[in-house]
Every structure is written in C-alpha cells, then in structure tokens.
Amino acid sequence: MPHQPFRDELANRRRTTLFLFYLAALLSVTAISLVAKIPSSRTPLFALAVTSAGAAIFFLLRFLRTNDEREQQTNYRALTFAFTGTLVFSASIGFIQSLGLHPVSWLGIPALMIILWSIGLILYSWRYR
C-alpha cells in the first residue's frame, strides 16, 4: 500500500484538535473551580471560563467535522455512551440526595460527560478496528 501523506496530515490535525479541545475544557473547569477560592478575581475567572468553554466547543466541532463515516459511527456510539452514563449518574445522585446525601456540584456533570465520551471513544475505536 503506498504512503498517503494527506491521510497522515489529517490524522495529525485531528489529534491536535482533540488535544486542544481537552486543554480548553480543562482550563474552563479549572477557572470555574478557582472562582470560589479567589473571590477577588471572580469576573476575570468567569470570563476565562466562558472563553475557554467557547474554544472547547469550537475545537470539538472542528474535530467532529473531519470524521469519515466510520469515525462518525464511533463518535455517535461514544456520545450515546456518555449521555447514557451521565443520565444514570444524575438519576442515581438525585435519588441518593432525596435520601439525605449532601448536594453534588453541577460543575461535575460536564466533566463527567467529557470523561465518559473519551472512554466511549477508546472503547468503540478498539471495537471497530
């Protein structure tokens, strides 16, 4: 099979875009976490969190647009896995809170979705190899 430099370049670009998505999402979560600890910097930290969340959305959409049909199927299954896992987690936490557990921060939900999506990507990409 001949070497396909275009495909390698596309794979590198996708890998970089996914890395930038994770980096922007981590920056957003970190900025939101610091808001409660540093009340004097509340406005700049919120601005940083919103800006980096917007960048994460941009990079995620850019990543998803470069997929072929097989990768779209993998992403669909990974997103289904993430949303189902988040729904089960949210329902179980809501039930446990009704029994008297202390409330859990809502900021953990987006992080949980990203983690479950990543796990789904890994599982389904292995399955379709």
Q: Give the global pTM.
A: 0.71
Q: Is 41 in the same domain as 94?
A: no
Q: Give pLDDT, residue 29.
A: 87
DSSP string, the chain: ----HHHHHHHHHHHHHHHHHHHHHHHHHHHHHHHHH-GGGHHHHHHHHHHHHHHHHHHHHHHHHT--HHHHHHHHHHHHHHHHHHHHHHHHHHHHHHTTPPPPPTTHHHHHHHHHHHHHHHHHHHHT-
Residues spanned by the domain of 128: 68-129
In terms of domains, do 57 and 78 share one? no
**What per-residue confidence (pLDDT) applies to 7?**
62
Give the per-residue pLDDT at 102: 78
> Which of 66, 81, 101 marks a domain boundary?
66
**pLDDT < 50: residue spans in the chain:** none
pLDDT of residue 59: 93
| pLDDT value of position 20 | 94
